[in-house]
Amino acid sequence: MHSKNVTAAYGSKAGSERSTTAAQPVGGLAAAAETRLVAWLLRQLGNPDIEVVLWNGTSVCPSRNPVASIRIADRATLWRLMYQPELAFGEAYTDGRIEVRGDLVALIENIYRRPEPALAQWLWRPRRPHHNTLAGSHDNIHRHYDLGNEFFRLWLDDEMVYTCAYYPHPGASLEEAQRAKMEHVCRKVVLRPDERVVEAGCGWGALALYMARQHGARVRAFNISHEQILWARDRAAREGLADRVEFIEDDYRNISGRYDVFMSVGMLEHVGPEHYGELGRIIDRCLTENGRGLIHTIGRDRPMRLNAWIEKHIFPGGYPPTLGEMRPIFEPFNFSVLDVENLRLHYARTALAWFERFERSVDRVAAMCDERFVRAWRLYLAGTHVAFTTGMLQLFQVAFARGGANDIPWTRAHQYA
């Protein structure tokens, strides 16, 4: 599964050094000190099966069977790596000042799988939440989702669903799994014909259209990504669903009206914990007495900041919460949590599918953007896959209703009928 040699596919500024198997430093005192520093850093990471090769050809490799080799192009990169490991690794990898030879996925997995030492505790400590004001959210979302629909089309499924899929069986295709996910969330909220649905954060509109097409729902779908909204409206018109699905370019905080179903798939990650109470108040305002809700979100087992590089370059303002951290959405408004499902392994598989499709389209991505962009997205997609296989990240689907509402499913058997 992790046999791809991901360096073969892209050029690198740092690709000129050659690996040596020398365990001793070559060069002077500074070089000797740096070698010891690398050895220390690897010890702090639990001595993963990784070789580190410095600019002067020095190799440090505590493992007999390294799965990959990290080549560091210059002294400045090494020192930045010591100071801010997560951020520096991602940035240097993007720039080509760090190159990975061997299996990128296995390399990340090796680092994440080790027992968590003091360094990791420090790296992944909780930190203050980000600011997702109305303007801030707009910028944050624009930077990721408005990269160009043509880019996402290269590696997403044919419905353009950019959230965790649901694989009914491990052999399902990404396309099957995304459709199964849409059906799964509809069943969880027991969606009925002509019910009014509000969707908070609708991506390219696949789920909103699915709910209208397959279940006869009337949907108002909110999103602040301009590119996505245009695409979704165009698709609704082409499919003849524009009278049942309204795509609204606006923030979830501006949702108005009353709905039988509140649906949000892959938005909570962008909300930020300081706004959970506000989100709960909005759901409380818009949900009918017998309404049902579903929040599908990346999460954590324990509070932890987002990877610093991901937060800076991929998902500004992102924060994956624990179930406990979601309390302010539900408890103050007397919402009753009916069902929580953790689909972590499904996201591992989804991200792997994206990664593999991305790798197959890498020449076209490079032509659209540049090599730096290719490297950044390669690292992000590989890292996402590994974060879910190792349990650094979770995927929670939380279904809820108003406290005391008895028009709720008797069992969950209908989800599997």
Residues at the contact surface with a second copy, assessed by CB under 8 A: 113, 166-170, 301-303, 322-324, 326-327, 330-332, 334-342, 344-345, 389-392, 394, 403-406, 408, 410-413, 415-416
Q: How far is the CB of 351 from a second copy (least distance, A)?
A: 15
Rounded distance between C-alpha atoms, residue 372 and residue 283, angstroms: 41
Q: How far is the CB of 204 from a second copy (least distance, A)?
A: 26
Q: Which is nearer to a second copy, 369 or 405 (CB)?
A: 405
Q: Please, what is the Cα angle at 322 between 320 and 326, to 5 degrees?
A: 95
At position 120, the amino acid (one-letter code) is: A
| CA 202 to each of CA 37, 138, 156, 403: distance values in angstroms, whole numbers, following the listed order | 47, 15, 15, 27
Q: Which is nearer to a second copy, 312 or 327 (CB)?
A: 327
Rounded distance between C-alpha atoms, residue 14 and residue 10, angstroms: 11
Q: Where are the beta strands (DSSP E) in 16-81?
A: 50-53, 59-60, 68-72
Residue 134's Cβ-count burial label (10 Å; 0-12, 13-18, 19+) is: exposed
- Sign of the dihedral through C-alpha 339, 345, 351, 354: negative
Q: Which is nearer to a second copy, 47 or 390 (CB)?
A: 390
Rounded distance between C-alpha atoms, residue 172 and residue 165, angstroms: 10
Q: Which is nearer to a second copy, 8 or 118 (CB)?
A: 118
Q: Which is nearer to a second copy, 104 or 326 (CB)?
A: 326
Q: How far is the CB of 94 from a second copy (least distance, A)?
A: 27
Beta bridge partners of 188: none
Rounded distance between C-alpha atoms, residue 199 and residue 327, angstroms: 21
Q: Which is nearer to a second copy, 374 or 401 (CB)?
A: 401
Q: How far is the CB of 308 from a second copy (least distance, A)?
A: 21
At position 393, the amino acid (one-letter code) is: L
Rounded distance between C-alpha atoms, residue 211 and residue 207, angstroms: 6
At position 334, the amino acid (one-letter code) is: N
Q: Which is nearer to a second copy, 64 or 302 (CB)?
A: 302
Q: How far is the CB of 324 from a second copy (least distance, A)?
A: 4
Q: Which is nearer to a second copy, 112 or 152 (CB)?
A: 112
Q: How far is the CB of 339 from a second copy (least distance, A)?
A: 6
Q: How far is the CB of 64 from a second copy (least distance, A)?
A: 24
- The alpha carbon of 382 is separated from its chain's Cα centroid by a whole number of angstroms, namely 11
Q: How far is the CB of 276 from a second copy (least distance, A)?
A: 11
* CA neighbor of 48 nearest in space, from 126, 98, 119: 119
